Chains A and B, each alone.
Chain A
Amino acid sequence: MPRLRELAPLQTLALALFFGFLVAAPLAEEWLLKLATRMAIFAMAAAALDLALGVGGMVSFGHAAFLGLGAYVVGIAFVHGFEGSTLAGFEPPADIWRQMLIAMLAASAFALVTGWVSLRTRGVAFIMITLAFAQMLYWFFVSLRRYQGEDGIALWNRSQGLFVDLEPQPNFHLFAVLCLLLFTLLALRLYHSRFGRVLRAARDNERRVSALGFPIVRFRLVAYGISAAATAVAGVLLANATWFVGPSYLSWPVSGQLIVMVVLGGMGTIFGPMLGAALFVLLEQFLPDLLDLLEPGAGEHWKLVLGPLLVLLALRLRRGLFPALARGRPGAGAVLPEVDRG
């Protein structure tokens, strides 16, 4: 991810369009606004995953767990608020700030414990272990009868905002966009910080970086925790956007979708995964209608088309959408030059 002033014109344009659409969306019809909200939330989740996957070089196949944890903080608080009951003597907070705080704490705690185990491995083993931990949490929530188990929790109201009423969709949407912007700012700072430089270097050349004196696992573990915390915030927002919390949020296809967004947009570029998420949400929304136009009834098989389409995009764009936008300007949109990384 280059510095903002080093972005290629097409990259700047794409980002301006994306953020412009998000900010202007409250002027649009309700369904389009809801689509924009979904984009903002998944952009945040995908960029958060990118901190671990793209910047940190940790291919986590379990990030749905963090998204789900965030969502369940909202769901559980709703259930107790609805019943007027307490959880282990505490009254779960109904306001979104404290819910986000709890979500971040819970997700990073889960990430630190599971990461401590998973980071002993690399490559495929790491992928499988992160998947296993996420599935563990998935089945935990499926069997958690107290909070509707497999059925999930339908929310009757949104979390409370601190200064604003989050019930109206435009308010909630702008709040989500604000969260995304804030996160983007933090992620960029992190990327260019000392910590970020060590992470990026370790992804490139682990051996050299540890021979320089950096305890790589410690750096990765912290990055994993930060990534998890940000993903959980997206989860808090997602629950409020969909008025629903269920174990499906923690299921492995969700983890897979997040990875697709990151890879599609361009690993390690922060902005790329946001655009990847936007594209994914658009495809999800419009592909069925588009197919129905071509052949009535074909829309329900949209995933049959989505799959090959993603494969094609991946082949065509190779390192992702965002770097491709800077093509012709070597290094401009790329984290790495296209040479051997030795």
Chain B
Amino acid sequence: MAEPVLVAEGLVRRFGAIAAVDGVSLALATGEIHALIGPNGAGKTTLVNLLSGELAPQAGRILFLGRDITPLPVHARARLGLARSYQIASVVGGLTALENVALALQAHAGSSFRFFADCSGEAELEAGAKELLARVGLAARAEVPAGLLAHGEKRALELAMVLAGSPKVLLLDEPLAGAGTEESRRIVELVAGLREGRAILLIEHDMDAVFRLADRVTVLVYGRVIASGTPAEVRRDAGVRAAYLGEEAMA
């Protein structure tokens, strides 16, 4: 395995008596897509929230390029190069698609404490935003308020925003949820092409997509890692078969 970018060590997060994430360790390496699978309620999204900083772990630590980032808030981690998408695509409804991506670019292009210059006149931001929109297939929808976009388009837009900062680590929480066949195909293709130069953690229920994309698979059940390895290893794992995958997915 290549040099890990993001390492989680013994993360624990309890909600009341329930340990949603119960001593999870994980390493994401550059150039790899690491799929996180598991039944509903296994703690996958909680784990992503811990990694992105939206939740604080009760135990364990998170290292980014060897540096302990456990105490850092969400925005600080994002600035280091940790980007995430949400299970329900999260965009800024009142801004146009173009403005959404320009906003994302703005976060990584100089100070945003600029009070007088009209930001829509910043050619660099606009050009970059258009390029990203084209990449996710939204070029024609640039001027549409994001709140009016169709579900799948919001997903694509969110992906463009997430890519804006050239993040070193991508946390994708079910990027295919709710997408149509055609959209799914495009997203899978896009995600496959993102591997270069970054580490990706992919939560996905679509096993086809998982086994097509993933270089490593970690299986989470009741907040614990029950298996982790290459897709082939995980497929063969008896514990995984019993706990989660079911015979037909193995066939």
Contacts and interface: CB of A to CB of B under 8 A. Distances in A.
B92 interface: yes
Contact of B93 (A192, A197, A204): A204
B61 interface: no
Contact-residue size bin, chain A (C-beta under 8 Å from the other chain): 20 to 34
A212 B94 contact: no
Interface in B97-130: 99-100, 102-104, 106-108, 111-120, 122
A222 interface: yes
Task: Determine which residue in A195, A208, A215, A337 has the highest number of CB atoms from chain B within 10 A of its CB, and name it.
Answer: A208
A179 interface: no
A214 B90 CA distance: 15
Given A194-B112, A194-B117, A211-B84, A340 B79 contact: no
Contacts of A339: 93, 145, 147-148
Contacts of A200: 92, 94-95
Nearest to B77: A213
A197 B91 contact: no
Contact of B103 (A189, A201, A203, A216): A201
Contacts of B219: none
A199 B92 CA distance: 11
A96 interface: no
A292 to B, nearest CB: 45
A337 B114 CA distance: 26
Contacts of A201: 92, 94-95, 100, 103
B12 interface: no
A306 interface: no
B83 A211 contact: yes
Contact of A342 (B76, B118, B147): B147
Contacts, number: 131
B45 interface: no
Nearest to A202: B92
B217 interface: no
B78 A213 contact: yes
B81 to A, nearest CB: 9
Interface in B125-172: 145, 147-148, 154, 161, 164-165
B70 interface: no
A93 interface: no
A342 B148 contact: no
A205 interface: yes
Contacts of B86: 207-208
B233 interface: no
B107 A197 contact: no
Interface string B52-90: 101000000000000000000111101100011010111
Contacts of B112: 194-195, 197-198, 214, 219
A335 interface: yes
Nearest to B161: A212
B103 to A, nearest CB: 6
Task: Determine which residue in A190, A196, A219 has the highest number of CB atoms from chain B within 10 A of its CB, and name it.
Answer: A196
B100 to A, nearest CB: 8
Contacts of A208: 86, 90-92, 161
B35 to A, nearest CB: 21
Interface string A209-239: 1111111100100100000000000000000
A337 B52 contact: no
Given A195-B115, A337-B148, A342 B95 contact: no
Contacts of B154: 342
Contacts of A331: 145
B94 A341 contact: yes
Contacts of A336: 93-94, 145, 147
B94 A210 contact: no
Contact of B95 (A190, A195, A204): A204
B75 A341 contact: no
15 contacts: A189-B116, A194-B113, A196-B119, A197-B103, A201-B95, A205-B90, A205-B93, A212-B107, A216-B75, A335-B94, A337-B94, A339-B147, A340-B147, A342-B90, A342-B93
Interface of A: 189-190, 192-198, 200-201, 203-205, 207-216, 219, 222, 331, 335-337, 339-342
The 5 closest A-B pairs by CB, nearest first: A213-B78, A341-B93, A336-B94, A213-B107, A339-B147
